[in-house]
Amino acid sequence: MTRACIVGGSGYTGGELVRLLLEHPGIEVAAVTSRSLGGKPLYSVHPHLRGLSDLRFVSPDEVGEVDVAFLCLPHGVSVGEIDRWRQAARTVVDLSSDFRLRSADSYREWYGSEHPRPDLLSEAIYGLPELTRQRLPDATLVSGVGCNATAMVLALLPLASAGLIDRAICDIKVGSSEAGRGPSAGSHHPERSGVVRSYAPAGHRHAAEVSQTLGDFVLDVSVTAVELVRGAVCTAHVVPSRPVTKKDLWGMYREAYSQEPFIRIVSERSGAHRLPDAKTVVGSNFADVGFEVDERTGRLVVISAIDNLVKGAAGSAVQAMNVAMGFAETDGLGRAPLYPA
């Protein structure tokens, strides 16, 4: 069995990684680390794992060699510990934002500081297999993906590949788990419940990932917190470079995604679930993508829905690890979504 360590496993993405890897046929979860919870059972903070794992949190200092290390550390922390974990593991998958951008200049522009390890930016492989599948085999450093970036990229990829985007305006609705486990003034239940709160109307950092991966077109991003725990839904309003019909869209999206194991085209003529909805992907690694054409103006509307903790984080991390380490790409990721949720 391939031995895996989850570093910083007390957060939501750490819990998701354990949940997924417990069903992986080739992975043994050897250690889950926490500096503050050493000795406590995993279920003390991940109650859904009660009875499924008898693992206890350990200090990072107690972890020896493993085959793969998943780093679930805050932004800016992974980069400071990367050498230690690369020495301990053949493959490192970093779920933070520390290695997502390939350019130190872009990092400075979007994060407002110099990158501490610019020498590693070109080495890290972006961990979205739908984009980087050919580069992932035998990768030793894989970056995680931004959840909102994932929703945008999967919505826009077929259009961008065809050179059809003059401008895209992505309006993203997100659930509360996107903010992580740590409480804040905005996540306090009386403040968060029932909101439709635009907290990033412009300048969201995940736009840098989209521009980096999809190319040079005008991209605007707005993010709004809504009454969800899990989920991110991107509604992309696209000004095309030439007229596009609904039939054209079907052809492009089928060609792009027909062989993708985790992308479903959801664009029906009628019904309550005729377009993507975060509610119907909860708990799964699926990304649902649908589209419509505004016949009056020629505007294209592309909608994507993901579970931000799975396809937007832990699920893509496992999927990328599978490709990097030679497992079947779907290993550990076969669970159907929960419905109703």
Strands 66-71, 27-32: pairing is: unpaired
**The dihedral formed by the CA atoms of 332, 128, 10 and 24, expressed in degrees to the nearest 10:** 10
Q: What is the dihedral of CA 260, 178, 101, 200, to 10 degrees?
A: 120
Q: Is 197 helix (H, G, I), strand (E, B) or coil?
A: strand
Is the Cβ–Cβ distance between 199 and 223 less than 8 Å? yes
152: nearest Cα among 168, 133, 135, 129: 168
Handedness of CA 135, 178, 12, 331 (dihedral sign): negative
Which residues are 4's β-sheet partners?
Answer: 29, 68
- DSSP lists the bridge partners of residue 7 as 71
Neighbours of 169 (CB within 10 A): 15
Beta bridge partners of 218: 167
Task: Report helix angle 206-214 to 147-161, nearest 10.
Answer: 20
The dihedrals phi and psi of 67, each to the nearest 5 degrees, come to -85, -40
Name the active-site residue from 5, 72, 147, 170: 147
Tally of CB atoms within 10 A around 58:
20
**How far apart are the C-alpha atoms of 117 and 90, rounded to whole Å?**
19
Task: Give me 36's structure tokens.
Answer: 């503050």
Strand partners, 238: 168, 300
- 237: which strand partners? 169, 301
DSSP code, position 298:
-
Instruction: Say whether 147 is catalytic.
Output: yes
Burial level of 135, CB count in 10 A (0-12/13-18/19+)? middle
Q: Which residues are catalytic?
A: 147
